[in-house]
Every structure is written in structure tokens, then in C-alpha cells.
Chains A and B, each alone.
Chain A
Amino acid sequence: MTDSALASEPAPGALEAHAARQDSRNRWLLSLPALLIIFLFASGPLFVMVIYSFLSPGDYGNVKWDFSTDGWVNVLLQRDIFDDTLMWADAHLSIFWRSLSLSLITTVLTLIFGVPTAWFIATQRPGKREFWLFLVTVPFWTNLLVRTIAIQELIRAEGVINNVLLALHIIDEPLQMMFTDFAIGFGMTYVYLPLMVLPVYAAVEKLDFRLVEAAYDLYASRWTAFRRVILPLIKPGIIAGSILVFIPCLGAYVTPRVLGGGKNLMFGNLIELQFGAGRNWPLGAALSLTLMAIVMVALIYYVRITSREEKKDV
């Protein structure tokens, strides 16, 4: 073989670099549809919302192309109609508070009911587990609105619960449960319970029960074994479940609308109100972005507690 023939062959290193370039170009091509969808349907609308939040409301909904920060100011403050002084928007603050507290309460309730349920399912014989998991997923087959109205049927003044309590003479007159925060919390706990059960189940199912035996063997009581061994090991499932419950709760719309009535609004209803009857799209946009910010803060907090290291070595 002559020198010139050798020279025409690319060096092995160059060949690899070429292949790598080809590879990365292919990867870009492959991810193009996904990127397109993200830009068109996720980033695009978000961008529109950011722009709208800095415009003025139109007279019949929509927006006027005048720059204004009123949308953002009105998230927390409101202007007095007579003297134009700014003061706290109490109505909004109470809605934020209701959203946050009800979401937290719902998360805690789904934990209280969901973790034992998940534990029960995960400790069944493999054949039986599928049956119980199937039961957990059955509610997803029915429309959320229908299920919420079914809850209404349970708790309204002439509903099942009141009728039973009256018949048993435990109460003398029907309990007012509809259109209260209780109704919303009850409804959301019911709706989001499967979202807690499933990730916790996945974590418990992976749990090595010999570790629990090892803890008993090393003089741990049942409670300590749970706290020191089981809980840290199923923590990822509990955190995933909490995120899956807490975040949709913050933005819940149907449940508070049906069970809370017009009085007990939550964040989702407030946003809907601004885009609908309120005809204040910039405020609606600013509220939506505020909700996103709250969710992000919550997520970052969760990520931080998950990645926190165990206590220091002895």
C-alpha cells in the first residue's frame, strides 16, 4: 500500500468524531417532533400568558394592547374605587389561603388513608394485589364531574349521610356539609386518593422485608423499625404521591365548583372567574403565573427534602 492510499483514509480518531457528529445530529432530528410540540403547545401559550398579564383588560373580555402592570398588582392588592389607595385584596388572599390549606389538608388526609391502603395491597399475595390495584383504579373510568356529583349526593342536606344520621337519631336536623370547605376537602381527598396509593404501593412493593426483620432483630420496636427503616425506604413513593396530590389540588376547579358552591372559591375558580364573568384577562394571566410559581416553589422544596442526606455518621 502506498503513502497516498494511506493518506486518503481518514485517521481513526477523525472517523470516530465524524460518527459522533452524525450521532448527535440524528438525535436532534429524532427529538424534533417533541421539541416542536413543547414549543407550540407548552412554551407558546405560556408566552402568550406572560404578554397578556402585562396588558390592559378589554371591555368585553380579551385584552387591549396597552402596557399595564395592573394585572400583577391586582393579584395581591386592590385599588379603592373612591380614593384610589391600594390595599390588600382580602378576597384573593382568603382564596389563596383556602387553596393552600385545603391542598395541604388533602395531602395529609390522602397520606393517612393512602399509605395504609398501599401497604395492605403491597403485602397481599401477588395474585390478589392486581385485584386490589384494579379496584383503586376503577374510579378513573368515570368522569370527574359525575364522581363529584355522587359526593354531593352523599353529603347534601337530604343526602345519604344526613338521612342515615337522622334515622339513627344521632342528629335532630341535617348537617350543613354542602358548600363548605369540608365538602371541598372531602371531595378532593376522594378524587386524589388513588394518586397517593399508586406511587406508595410501588415503593412498598419494592421494599425488602428482610430489612424490617433485621431491624426487629437489632432490638427495634415495631414503631422504630417503621420510622428508621421502612419510612426512609418508601420516602420516594410518599413524596411522589404528595406531589401528585398537592399540585392538582392547588389548581382544582371542578370539585370546589360543585361542592364549594359560589362562595368557597379556590385558585382555579378565581382564574376561571377572571377569564369569564370578571372580564379581566390580564389578572387571570397573572394569577395563572402566580399559581405556577407557587407550584415551582413547592416542587423545589420537595426536591430539597428528598435529596437531603441522612444524619451524620456516628
Chain B
Amino acid sequence: MNALHSTAAPPSSAAERETAIEARGITKIFGAANGFMALDNVSVAIRRNEFFTLLGPSGCGKTTLLRVIAGFEPPTMGVLSLNGRDISQLPPNKRPVNTVFQNYALFPHMSVANNIAFGLEMLGKSKSEIKDTVTEMLKLVQMEHLRSRRTSELSGGQQQRVALARALAPKPEVLLLDEPLSALDLKLRKEMQIELKRLQHETGITFIFVTHDQEEALTMSDRIAVMSAGKILQVGSPREIYAKPAERFVANFIGESNFLNATLAGDSVTLDAGGRFTVTPPEGVADGEVSVLVRPEHASVRAGEPGAGELAVTVETIVYSGDATTLHLKLATGETFKAKQPNAPAEAGVLPAEGDSAALTIAPGAVTVLKD
């Protein structure tokens, strides 16, 4: 096994060298007989220095994938490599990968400084180097004043910072973050989101971040992998994931969506409710009956009879939410449709009232054909 490792050819092409973590066909089954398949043939390449997010609902396998990368769960099948080297068989303490745990898992019997020093001590660093690194880390997370505090005396946000400093101190190749912000309140969470981005930028370490919060994923990530039922459904930048979701699940999980029935013919799609749009359908979708997605903010409503290129709708409910107003509409086909309008400084009176007939305009390019 070891011989195999050492003879593995060094990565050759530039693209390959850019990959930090690569999973190939990772399958994880818990329990021997009729076990639960937590990961189903997952393959993904995570680039160096990127902020990569695993996003999905609870039980989708994102934490299991993170634990496989950390080495806590051996994969049932598949190969995991770091910088082109197979690390599938390495125990967690032999992997240059550190984890920020969901509930921080700070050592309660040690001070802040000793927590941060732990990994460095285990790596056999010299006393003076440990001291310097701990000071540097405390400065990085702005916790210098709490150096000798016990971890039980810290607030949630402070514990979070110590957990980050502890995991970053050994300068790992990859930092794994398991829903680290879920225990914080909203305001602190927003602060820490920016803080995490800054840390990732300053340290240049690859971050793999697990969350079920789509907004968190969109604001922080360079790329996102959306997971469901042990599979990765789509990998892409936040913009791609939001604007061009490949599947209904992805569209539904991220942002608000309208799903409409339509007919595809080449690069043109006709909604059942009316209107014709030019699209680039994803691979593997044949002409005929399809589902399409329209984001609520990509449609606008005005009072009055529909003109050319507009759809006739009935307004059912109007929901005001400060920055925007969402109108729940019924199309001629009986399909429901949500349209979100930014609120103008002064109410211009253009919005129809509940129960009115109105005209709906879907922006060109707002229609995305889905795979299923």
C-alpha cells in the first residue's frame, strides 16, 4: 500500500496541480446488513485556496463527506486524494487537514492559549515557535486579550474564534468547517461570515465549509456543491447555482422559485400559460414537455389588461416585506406564480390590489429549463 503511494506519479498538468482535495467515487454505507447509504458514489474536485461549500438539507451526507475528508469515517468505497496523493487510508492525525467542529469541541481543561497550542505541540514544534504562532493566531482572530482565559468562560462567538485559531494554527492544507456558525445568533453569524472570508483570504488555506443555510453559502463561497440524499447534484459558483440550477431540487433549495410547465423545441420554449422564450437547455433534455424555472424577482406585475408579451394573471395575495412586495398570482393555466417587486421610495400606485386581474411580464433570459 505504502509502496503504491510513493510510486504515484506527481501531478503533471497545471489543472491537476490546482486541485487540493479530490474525491473519486466515494461511497459510505453505515451498518453492515441493509445499511444506510450516506454517500452514494460522490466525486468532486476542490481547488486550492478556494472557499468551497457543501450545501444541503440535514441528512444529505454533507457532514459525512466532511468526516471522510477529515479521516473520521473510512469510505466504504472510493479514493480520496490530497494534492494528488491518496490519503484514503491515513488516520486523522496523519492528515494535514484540520476541523472546526460544529460545537467547537474546545478542550475544557485548557486555557485559550493551550487549546491553540495543542496541534503545534503534537507536531513537535519548538517552544518559542509555538509561543509565536499562538500569539499570531490570537491576533488573527482578535482574541489577544483572552489568552489565559478558560474556554468555559467564553461567549459563543469567542469560542468560535478560538476554535478557528486552534484549527488554523498548525497551518493545515485544508480547513474543514462543520456548520460552525449554526450555534450563533443572527447578528454574530453575519459578522463571522465576513470574518471567515477574511481569514480564508489572509491565510490562503483551502476552506471546505458545510452548511444547510443557502444564504450563508451564497454570500461566502467561491463554489458550492449542492447535495441531496448522498449525492452531489450540482457544483458551481453561487451565481451559476442560483441563476442556472440544473435540477428542480437545487432550484427549490436555493432561493425562491416558480416552476412552470412548458414545451421545449430546440432553443425555444413555450410556456403553457403563454409566452415564448429563448433558452439554452441543459444536456440530456429532449424536446417536448419540460419544467422551467422563473425566479420571483425576474418577473414584474402591473395593473391593467395584458398587452403583447404579457401574461394574464389574477392577484391572490400581496405580502409586504419591507424591501420588497411579493405578489402571489394565479396564471390562466391554474398554475401559481410568485412575483417579487422591489419597493419604490414612494408608493406609485402601480401595484394591483388583491383579487384584481393584472399583467405579468417575465424578463427575457429569466426562464431556465430544468433536467427533471
Residues of A within 8 A of B (CB): 208, 210-211, 213-221, 224, 228-229, 232-233, 310-311, 313-314
Contacts and interface: CB of A to CB of B under 8 A. Distances in A.
A218 B118 contact: yes
A98 to B, nearest CB: 37
B130 A314 contact: yes
Interface residues of B, number: 35
Contacts, number: 74
B170 A218 contact: yes
A221 B117 contact: no
Contacts of A221: 93
Contact of B131 (A219, A220, A233, A314): A314
A215 B105 CA distance: 9
A217 B99 CA distance: 7
A17 B148 CA distance: 41
Interface pairs A-B: 7 shortest CB-CB: A218-B119, A219-B122, A214-B105, A210-B105, A216-B92, A314-B117, A313-B113
Given A213-B105, A220-B93, 5 more contacts: A218-B122, A218-B167, A310-B110, A313-B147, A314-B113
Nearest to B116: A314
A238 B123 CA distance: 29
Interface string B54-74: 000000000000000011100
A233 B118 contact: no
B101 A210 contact: yes
Nearest to B102: A210
B228 to A, nearest CB: 26
A313 B114 contact: yes
Contact of B109 (A210, A213, A310): A310
B138 to A, nearest CB: 11
B93 A217 contact: yes
Contacts of B103: 210
B127 interface: yes
A55 B38 CA distance: 79
18 contacts: A211-B108, A213-B105, A214-B107, A217-B97, A217-B98, A218-B98, A218-B166, A219-B93, A220-B93, A220-B118, A228-B118, A229-B107, A232-B109, A310-B110, A313-B114, A313-B148, A314-B131, A314-B134
A219 B95 CA distance: 8
A311 B71 CA distance: 30
A313 B166 CA distance: 14
Nearest to B163: A214
Nearest to B128: A314
Given A216-B92, A217-B99, A313 B119 contact: no
Contacts of A214: 99, 101, 105-107
Interface in B261-280: none
Contacts of A233: 108-109
Interface of B: 70-72, 91-94, 97-99, 101, 103, 105-111, 113-114, 117-119, 122-123, 127, 130-131, 134, 147-148, 166-167, 170
Nearest to B111: A313
Give the one of A210, A214, A310 with max B CB within 10 A. Answer: A214
Contacts of B98: 217-218
Contacts of B105: 208, 210-211, 213-214
B67 to A, nearest CB: 9
Contacts of A313: 111, 113-114, 147-148
Contacts of A220: 93, 118, 122
B163 to A, nearest CB: 9
B118 A215 contact: yes
A138 B123 CA distance: 47
A221 B130 CA distance: 19
B107 A314 contact: no
B209 to A, nearest CB: 16
A297 to B, nearest CB: 27
B78 to A, nearest CB: 21
A213 B105 CA distance: 9
Nearest to A231: B109
A209 B195 CA distance: 28
Nearest to B91: A216
Contacts of B91: 216
A215 B98 CA distance: 10
A218 B94 CA distance: 9
A311 B127 CA distance: 14
A232 B109 CA distance: 7
Contacts of B119: 218-219
Contacts of B167: 217-218
Contact of B101 (A213, A310, A311): A213
Contacts of A224: 122
A313 B117 CA distance: 9
Interface centre among A232, A310, A314 (most CB of B within 10 A): A314
A228 B122 CA distance: 10
B165 to A, nearest CB: 12
Question: Most chain-B Cβ atoms within 10 A of its Cβ — which of A213, A217, A232?
Answer: A217
A217 B107 contact: no
B118 A310 contact: no
A59 to B, nearest CB: 60
A229 B118 CA distance: 10
A15 to B, nearest CB: 37
Contacts of A213: 72, 92, 99, 101, 105
A314 B148 contact: no
Nearest to A219: B122
A217 B113 contact: no
Nearest to B99: A217
A220 B121 CA distance: 9
A121 B223 CA distance: 44
